[in-house]
Amino acid sequence: MVSRAFFLLAMAAALAGSTAAADWPQWRGPNRDGISAEKGVAKPWPSDGPKLLWTIDKLETVGTGYGSPAVVGDKLYVLGADGAKKDAKESCTCLNVKDGTVVWQKPLETTPGSFSDGWGGGTRSTPTVDGDLLFALGSTGDLVCLATKDGEVKWRKNLVKDFGGKIPNWGYSESPLVDGENVVVTPGAKGGVVALNKKTGEKVWQTAGMTDGAGYSSLVPFEVGGVRQYAQQTMSHGIGVRASDGKLLWSVGEIKRATAVIPTPVVDGNVVFFTSGYGAGCEAFKLEPDGDGTKAEKIYSKNSVVQNHHGGVIRVGDKVYGHSDKTGWVCFDFKTGPDEPVWANKKFGKGSITYADGEFYCYAEGKGELVRIKATDKGWEETGKLTIPSTSPLRKPTSGKVWAHPVVANGKLFLRDFELLFCYDLANPGS
């Protein structure tokens, strides 16, 4: 008979293993803030970077796209299309994390729609995994619910046809938010923001009186005075809608949003931060209950020091880190603003950013270079670097760049460039 002590030790080991998992189930990680739950990966790298475990370089495997993958357990889910034109057919692919082999692939049955393919056709968003369901949004507004086990279609809607939305100039890029029993997305225009029952696809509510065009940002959930709401960036404003009924609670817009509004809002308590490129800059507001609504009081606005185009920014402690078109890579105080950055670095190229285990992974859009730096307000301190083995032959240098954000999950680093996907070993980085 197995001893009680042995049994307890085995149970403890099993529980430790189950709680150590650091999945990346949606856009910008478990909390939509760019922060991985991963621990134990701040290990020294060889001079050429951590060990490359596998590569996908065939168009038909994951397809073209700018979205990042979602990783849950031993499965990776990613959206892609069968070519670089806007009429390319889109699909969702499930891969085995261990070796990159295809588990299943399901077409999204792309609805015809008009958007610019100046940056190349293909999907733009990251799928969202919630238990045994996955939610994918295609570039022409196809919102599809799939079974994670085999890709079976549970239901589908189209943000334009079903909810009065309008396709943004470069296609829908939002990653669906699952919150409780609902999945929430932003059709834009007369479609506003809409919540659907995640199991049936039936409409729960739709924001009234909002006509802003959909940007390329994704919703973030938070609470103010016990009221749950969602922050979002449209093409014109930063907004907050109530989670229970979709009521528009507040709208701000002092920075001049234009061309493409991409970065996801950053929320800390009752403070919300927005930034955008094309000269817009950044702004922050303190949110307080106000009767049946919420009032937004300006902390700072029209600040041009931080102009984040698309790579996102991350708050760690009381500091924010990311790239600015004006100042390069920058660190600044979240609540007082970036008038005087804590530090700035223009030596490394513009790109996206992810945080894990005390370090940032900065992924340059030009040649697929990645630098790992310490998450510190003391300055830019590199702890490792790599360059992906190749860049996409389908993505012309003048028609798009390396725009998918890094994903750190379960001891691995995943980097994408259009139809290419690379998996690196962070748990045992030595080559």
Find the CATH number of the domain harbouring 340. 2.130.10.10
Q: pLDDT at residue 310 above 60?
A: yes
pLDDT digits (tens, 9 = 90+) for 136-189: 999 999 999 999 999 999 999 999 999 999 999 999 999 999 999 999 999 999
**Does 8 reside within a domain?**
no
Q: pLDDT at residue 17 above 60?
A: no
Nearest Cα to 339, choosing from 348, 353, 352, 326? Answer: 326
Question: Domain containing 398: what range?
Answer: 23-425
**Does 9 reside within a domain?**
no
Task: Give the pLDDT confidence score for residue 78 in this predicted structure.
Answer: 98
Q: pLDDT at residue 7 above 90?
A: no
Q: pLDDT at residue 5 above 80?
A: no
- The owner of tokens 């809608």 is 241
d(CA 81, CA 183): 23
What's the whole-number mean pLDDT along residues 344-367?
A: 97
Task: Give the pLDDT confidence score for residue 366 in this predicted structure.
Answer: 94
Neighbours of 286 (CB within 10 A): 15
Residues 6+ apart with CB under 8 A from 321: 313, 314, 315, 329, 330, 331, 353, 355, 360, 375
What's the whole-number mean pLDDT along residues 97-112?
A: 97
Strand partners of residue 369: 387
pLDDT digits (tens, 9 = 90+) for 248-297: 999 999 999 999 999 999 999 999 999 999 999 999 999 999 999 999 99
Lowest mean pLDDT among 5-9, 108-112, 316-320: 5-9
Task: Give the pLDDT confidence score for residue 85 in this predicted structure.
Answer: 86
**Does 7 reside within a domain?**
no
Read off the tokens for 186.
């932003």
Neighbours of 63 (CB within 10 A): 26
Lowest mean pLDDT among 15-19, 121-125, 397-401: 15-19
d(CA 76, CA 103): 9
**Does 14 reside within a domain?**
no
Q: How confident is the model at residue 40 (pLDDT cuts 50, 70, 90)?
A: very high
How many domains would you assign to the chain? Answer: 1
Residues 6+ apart with CB under 8 A from 281: 255, 275, 302, 303, 304, 305, 306, 307
Q: What percent of the chain has pLDDT over 90?
A: 88
Q: How confident is the model at residue 380 (pLDDT cuts 50, 70, 90)?
A: very high
d(CA 411, CA 39): 8
**Does 63 reside within a domain?**
yes
d(CA 345, CA 398): 25
SS3 350: coil
**Does 16 reside within a domain?**
no
Nearest Cα to 407, choosing from 106, 121, 22? Answer: 22
Q: Do 108 and 80 form a contact (C-beta atoms < 8 A)?
A: no
Mean predicted lDDT score pLDDT of the chain? 93
- Phi, psi (degrees; rounded to nearest 5) at 385: -155, 155
**Does 18 reside within a domain?**
no
d(CA 376, CA 105): 41
On the 0-12 / 13-18 / 19+ scale of CB atoms within 10 A, 300 is middle
**Does 131 reside within a domain?**
yes
